[in-house]
Chains A and B, each alone.
Chain A
Amino acid sequence: MNFEIMLHAGISTGTILLIAAIGEIFAERSGVMNLGVEGMMLLGAMAAFKTAYNTGNVWLALLAAVLAGGVLSLAHALVTIHFQADQTVSGLSLTFLGTGLALVLGEGMTGLNAPTVPNFTLPLLSQIPFIGRVFFTDQNLFVYFGYLLAPLAWYYIYKTKPGLHLRAVGEKPAAADTLGVSVYGVRYLYTFIGGCFAGLSGACISVAITPGWYSNLTTSGQGWIAVALVIFAQWNPMRAMLGGYLFGFLRRLLLDLQGPAMLLGLRNPFFYDHNLVFFLQMLPYVLTVMALVWGSSSARRKRIGAPAALGEPYIRGERGL
């Protein structure tokens, strides 16, 4: 039960959620809700692990994961953007599809070892007391990528012209269309980007944070938690970063609660009755639901909503948003 270690580990596992959630923020900002994150993440995790195992090159593995997630997301894009299918059902089927593909292609990979993404310590920054040890010491590459990704995504969405176009397409596609922004093009692009990030977050699991392939337990619902995190974060990358780390920290805390015999001077019930641990394992999922309740009521209070056109297909010339 060391606070510093828990924070350190929380940031590292939270990075998985952070990357997937920011990808989904891009997609949803353009008006495309992709509930297939879990499937893309699992496929990405499989692609990364298998590539790393077969080629021994972890960079190729990352590329494979990004492409796996991205290509899968294009199926969702085609069906929802061109065919105007229901985004909810399509996303769900994408999860099934991704899971099935990952299980078939990942057959026989369990228990193998593959190269992983290196951990390293940043010079200078790691010298800062406490913060240096938590944030900049012996973290893996993904974590540092996460530090850059969130603020860059924030800047891109709120401060740049393509970001403005992105938000316009998600809020008022008809208006964006009249300004010459290609609604379909923007939606395809960001759905694809969302898929790439989801795939990458899968790689973050299988070749970095908990290396290995454990069939569908590899992701164990983290893709869905990432989708919930997007709502909790109110479609803001910086809040997604905070939420991801907080969630990672809580996960680690729950794990560490099982260790000591005494907790705060009391007998630790989880140490003496191991079955109570099942209640600890429930907590991340319960907390996700509670975070959603909190997030949505706070969003309503501040009048921040989902992008107005989220979930709506755009058909040029038809009445709509």
Chain B
Amino acid sequence: MRLQIVKRSEDPPKWLPIATSLGAVVLAFVISGGILAAVGADPLQIYRYFFRSAFGSWGAFSDVMVKATPLILIGLGCALAFRMKLWNIGAEGQFYIGAFFSSMVVMVPLVDVNTTPPIVTIGLMMLLGIFGGALYGFIPGLLKAKFGINEIITTLMLNYVAVFWNNYWIFGKWSDAGFQMTPTFPRRVWLPRLADLAKQNPFFSGMTLHVGVIFGLIVAVVLWYIINKSRWGYKINLIGDNPKAARYAGIDIAKNIILVFMFSGALAGLAGMTEVSGVVHRLQERISTSYGFSGVIVAWLAKLDPFAVVLVSILFGALLVAGREIQPSGVSFLIQGTILFLVISSDVLMRYQIRLVNTKKASVEEAA
């Protein structure tokens, strides 16, 4: 008997992508556990702590969903871009610029926050967040479409630029008495939270989950429709799978590169807005715990499927919540990296089959 790797002649079974993604997650925990044990930590204890701080109570789970919200939005944006094989690694920067633009509403201020109805102010913040993210996605999109410049490098470089841009404002003009943050926004412009319902039902007291998560779910449905039911989605999938065929079909690839980049950026920008208005309630340093990069992994682990993005985001939200508290601090990075690596390696199973072959029989067949 020996193992033989054979190219698949037909499509892989439907359960396989799900199985490989799950397997990758489990294996990633095992491997990371091994590494943790090797450096002298107790992986079981860390994981137990991990699980408790993420799913131990409804309050903890609410925290997980808060962390999952930006991941859902960013993961969805990445999923769309990746379908076209556009590697937008710049969600981090688009997130920051979205947060900046939506903060302008309060900080410039663009409207009189105290007299304008909150729904108008919050609506304007959302629009500007989306606009800012789209604008910041436009730049690498244009460079890719017009000059063929590697979008991974441009988006990454722009991430750094966005952070410094925000720093300029929060250290300077918008600083709250010299602290590296803006003053807290008035409560009127906060996104509604579960905790707001605590008066009616004490069960919700202290729960920070905000309305942004609903934006995420709506976008997931919209994106599912775009990808599976719309002409635009068909074009995007075609460009990703077979750019030559797309060109022969007369699809304007350059235009779609820019559009998809702006769409992807817009979602990251919206995520920045929800974080500013729903969670931190001001603009400050480090509003993102590398959501932009986790979003990339989320999209990939979800195999670019919008609903799977939502589920995977919850898992990663748990990783982020737990990762805040456990030492060493790089653990959640390590697990995320290992997961992504295993997911892409397991893709080989989509194209190849591993079979146990009876050597004797095989050689007889070969001879025949």
Contact = CB atoms under 8 A, between A and B. Distances in A.
A77 to B, nearest CB: 12
Contacts of B164: 278-279, 281-282
Contacts of B340: 89, 92-93, 96-97
Main secondary structure of the interface of A (DSSP, over half): helix
Interface stretch (A200-208, A221-229, A240-248): A221-229
A100 B153 contact: no
Contact of A286 (B157, B293, B334, B347): B157
A278 B341 contact: no
B330 A221 contact: no
What are the nearest 10 A-B pairs in CB distance? A103-B330, A100-B334, A96-B337, A97-B337, A100-B333, A275-B172, A107-B328, A93-B340, A83-B348, A285-B157
B302 interface: no
A266 B292 CA distance: 41
Contact of A275 (B150, B171, B341): B171
A60 interface: no
A296 interface: yes
Contacts of A231: 150, 153
Most buried by B among A95, A100, A103: A100
Interface residues on B, range: 35 or more
Contacts of B153: 224, 227-228, 231, 288-289, 292
B348 A93 contact: no
A86 B168 contact: no
B15 interface: no
Given A75-B341, A278-B165, A289-B143, A104 B39 contact: yes
29 contacts: A79-B345, A85-B345, A85-B347, A85-B348, A89-B87, A89-B344, A92-B87, A93-B344, A96-B340, A97-B341, A99-B333, A100-B331, A100-B333, A100-B335, A103-B329, A103-B330, A104-B35, A107-B39, A221-B160, A224-B157, A228-B157, A231-B150, A275-B171, A278-B171, A279-B164, A282-B160, A285-B160, A286-B161, A300-B148
B248 interface: no
A99 B157 contact: no
A139 interface: no
Main secondary structure of the interface of B (DSSP, over half): helix
Contacts of B148: 296, 300
Interface of A: 35, 39, 75, 78-79, 82-86, 88-90, 92-108, 221, 224-225, 227-228, 231, 273, 275-276, 278-279, 281-282, 285-286, 288-289, 292-293, 296-297, 300
Given A89-B300, A96-B336, 10 more contacts: A83-B348, A85-B348, A100-B333, A100-B336, A101-B330, A275-B171, A281-B164, A285-B161, A292-B143, A293-B149
A102 B330 CA distance: 8
Interface in B25-61: 35-36, 39
B128 interface: no
A35 B155 CA distance: 13
Contacts of B329: 103, 107
Contacts of A89: 87, 300, 340, 344
B124 interface: no
A221 B333 contact: no
A289 B157 contact: yes
A101 B35 contact: yes
B327 interface: yes
Contacts of B296: 92
Interface in B158-203: 158, 160-161, 164-165, 167-168, 171-172
A83 B350 CA distance: 11
Contacts of B310: none
Interface string B290-302: 0001001100100
B244 interface: no
Contacts of A106: 330
Contacts of A282: 160-161, 164-165
A79 B348 CA distance: 9
A273 B175 CA distance: 14
Interface in B299-335: 300, 327-335
A127 B297 CA distance: 54
B330 A224 contact: no
Given A100-B335, A275-B172, A286-B157, A35 B152 contact: yes
Contacts of A285: 157-158, 160-161
B288 interface: no
B209 to A, nearest CB: 28
Contacts of A281: 164
A267 to B, nearest CB: 18
Given A84-B351, A107-B330, A289-B143, A94 B341 contact: yes
A102 B35 CA distance: 12
Nearest to B38: A105
B89 interface: yes
A107 B158 contact: no
A103 B331 CA distance: 8
Contacts of B330: 99-104, 106-107
B338 interface: yes
A294 to B, nearest CB: 10
Contacts of B167: 278
Contacts of A84: 348, 351
Contacts of B338: 97, 100
B154 interface: yes
A224 B296 CA distance: 17
